[in-house]
Each structure stands twice: as C-alpha cells, then as structure tokens.
Amino acid sequence: MAKAKLPETSQSLFAYMTAGQRDHWGMDAEHWDWVPGVGLISLLDYGIHAGERCTVDYVVQWVERNHSQAGQAKVINSMAPYAVFPLLYRLSGRKEYLAEAQEIARWMIEEAPRTREGAFEHTVTEDADFPEQVWADTVYMAVLFLARLAQVAADRRLAEEALRQTLLHLRLLQDADSGLMFHGWDCARQNHLSGAKWARANAWLTLAVPEIVAAVRGLAEIPEELPRRYRALAEGLRVVQAEDGLWHTVLDQSDFYKESSASAGIACGFIKAVKSGLLDETYIDSARLTVEGILPLITAEGEVCGVSGGTPVLASIAAYNEVPLYPTLYGQGLALQLLTEVSLLEIEARKGADEE
C-alpha cells in the first residue's frame, strides 16, 4: 500500500467535497439532508483525527450557513447532519449545540413515526412515503446521532434507545443463512420487498454499529445478541468480498458492478469493529485489501469514481444494477473515512515500532 499517498489523497477528497459544486444532486452540500450529512460526519471525523482545523471550521460554517433549513423537514433521513452536533459541543463547549441536539433527540424518541415493531419508519425529505418500512440506512442516518449524543450527555435513556433501534434493525433485516442484510423490511407485508442484499445498506450497518456500541458502552447493557449478529454480518461480507477488495452493488450477484462507496463503508466498519472489540484483527487485512481497490478509483482531483446514486428499496434485484454512477458527497465521505482509519492504523504501527 502506498502509505505516503494516504494523507495526500485525503486532502484531495476534502478539496473536492468542499469546492462548492451545485450542478449535481450528489455534490450539492447546501441543504439539510442525509447526503451532505454523511459528508459532514466524514469531514469532522477526518478533521479531528488528522488535526485539520480548516476541516472542522468548514463543518461549523456549514451548520451556520444551512441551519435555517434544519426544521423544514423533520424526518428520519434528515437527522444525519445532527450527528456532528455532539462532537461540535465537545470541541467548542457551545451549549446551543447540546440543547438543539437534545430537542431533536426528544422528537425522535417521542414523535418520530415508528413501525408496528417499534423501529423508526424510514421517512425522507423527498415527496415519497414508505409506510411501515424499515431501511438499513436509518441506523447510520439517525441512530448514530442518538448514540453520540448519549455519550456526550451521559444519557442512559438515549443509549438504551440507540441499542434498541440497532438491534431491531439487525433482527428485521438480517438473512439467517448468509448473515447479510436486506435493504429493507415491510412490516405490513412481512417481507423484505425485492429481497436485495444491497451493498450500501450493509455498509451503513457495518460502519454504524461499532461506533454505536463504543459510544454507549458503560451507559447501557449491550445485549449479547447484538455482537453475535454483527459478527455474522461481517463473516458473510468477507465471504462475498471480491479478489480486488471491493463488493458488488448487490452482494450475492457477482455479475453486477462493484460499488466503491459501499466497499469503503464496509472496510471502514471492519476497522472500527476491530478497535471496539467486535471483530478480530484478521478483518484489518480485508480492509487493507479494499484500500488497494479503492485508491485507483480516486482521481488526481479527488473525485471518487464508481459510486452509485441515491437508491430507495427498488422493485427488483435487477434494478439495482441499473442505478447510475456519479460523484456524491456520501461516496467522497465514506472513502475519506476509510483512508482516515487506515492512516490512524499506520500511525499506531509506527508508534509501536518506535517504542520497541
């Protein structure tokens, strides 16, 4: 692996994400929704870990610039930007971040629509309804925020709800045979809709669960079922990982195209899971292989290629292979998160070597 290339590539990803491109839905950062939300989460994590103050400042300025839009559509999928609020509060001590985060968390727990099983219904800002539907996306877009806030505020109630929602989603979406996750579950029809084991759905869960577990540890008891289900997911993912380290856009369809954002998210989740004790260290090898497959897909300008567009639960498995590829903030962000985690591994390895 080209270790020296990682920081340089991360900087180019940041530059591409913040260039103010608004000519395409996937790169338009100036609205309060999940797409820029995933980008913000990724940028803030990178800025904190890499010591890049300009990146943290960008996130603060984005919140100030777009805050007036926050209350226009109170839906589960637009909760993603709030995931930076607990960290911004911890960095700055500004109580308004904490107060607003707590009010949003109250809405989620007391008012947000739920399915008959008690899971958050996947509501979106677009003019579309998915009644009684559970999507894997929700765990990253909304539950991650609850866990982060629980940690910062030492709030047991939020921690318990974050664990409850995570486990509900794992139960409803996991395929018992392969361990992989279906994209969605229809509570009224009691089925997985098209039955697609969509890669990015698996990435959202693989990435979010280790951080959720790490955030609430010590605040609430983690049911043994949760790490058991997560390990089954990780084992299933490793089985279907391609030789170049990437994953196909539908995991069990080896003739479908490989998708870079899902691959980055899964690999990054593996690293986080090893750090949190959910997985053993052999999963680092799988993540490193993914980095080798991702780096050639990042242009000199910092664009991550091979990213599929926004994808609802589609009517058929075949339809997932028709989703167009184009640059997106979440694709940029997931790649940035992966490179950040790998860079941290390299720093730890050098530190260990120096101490010996």
Phi and psi dihedrals of 320, rounded to 5? -65, -30
| Burial of residue 91 (number of CB atoms within 10 Å: 0-12, 13-18, 19+) | middle
| Integer Rg of the chain from CA | 19
> Which pair of tokens denotes residue 184?
């969605």
Residue 255 annotated among the catalytic residues of the structure = no
- Residue partners of 63: CB distance under 8 A and separation at least 6: 40, 81, 84, 85, 88
C-alpha distances (whole Å) from 34 to each of 187, 221, 238 are: 23, 29, 27
Count of CB atoms within 10 A of residue 52's CB?
Answer: 17
CB of 180 within 8 A of CB of 251?
Answer: yes
Phi and psi dihedrals of 33, rounded to 5? -160, -175
For the chain, how long is the longest CA-to-CA vector? 59
Please tell me the distance from the alpha carbon of residue 350 to that of residue 337, in angstroms, as a whole number: 20
Please identify which of the residues 137, 175, 280, 354 carries the catalytic annotation.
Answer: 137
Active site amino acids = 137
